[in-house]
Amino acid sequence: MTAGLFTIPLWIDLLAVGIGSVQGAAFAAQFRDRRLDLLGVAIIGIATGFGGGLIRDILLGQVPLALRSNWYLPVAVAAALLGMLLQRLVHRLGVTINILDAVTIGMFGAIGTTKALALGLPVVPAVFVGSVAAVGGSILRDLLLNLPIAIMQVGSLYAVAAIVGTSTLVVLDALGVDVLIAGIVCVVVTFGVRVLAVAFHWTLPEQRHLPTGAIRIVRRPRRPGPGR
Q: What sign does the CA torsion over 46, 49, 51, 57 have?
A: negative
Number of residues that bind a copy of itself (CB under 8 A): 92
Nearer to a copy of itself, 90 or 103 (CB): 90
In sequence order, what are the residues at sequence separation of 6 or more whose Cβ sits closer than 8 angstroms to the Cβ of residue 87?
25, 26, 29
Interacting positions 130-159 with a copy of itself (CB under 8 A) = 138-139, 143-156, 158-159
Residues 14-43, one symbol each (x = binds a copy of itself by CB under 8 A, - = not), give ---------x-xxxxxx-x-xxxxxxxx-x
Distance between CA atoms of 5 and 132, rounded to whole angstroms?
17
Judged by CB under 8 A, which of 103, 160, 186, 187 binds a copy of itself? 160
Nearer to a copy of itself, 10 or 181 (CB): 10
- Are 164 and 190 in contact by the 8 Å Cβ rule? The answer is yes
Tell me: does residue 125 bind a copy of itself (CB under 8 A): yes
Options 8-16, 89-97, 172-180, 184-192: segment touching a copy of itself (CB under 8 A) = 89-97
Bridge partners of residue 203, in order along the sequence: 156
Using CA atoms, how far residue 125 sits from 122, 136, 218, in Å, is 6, 15, 41
Options 3-11, 120-128, 175-183, 184-192: segment touching a copy of itself (CB under 8 A) = 120-128
Bridge partners of residue 156, in order along the sequence: 203
Tell me: does residue 122 bind a copy of itself (CB under 8 A): yes
Cβ of residue 190: shortest distance to a copy of itself, in angstroms? Answer: 15
Tell me: does residue 89 bind a copy of itself (CB under 8 A): yes
In sequence order, what are the residues at sequence separation of 6 or more whose Cβ sits closer than 8 angstroms to the Cβ of residue 137?
20, 24, 47, 48, 49, 50, 51, 52, 53
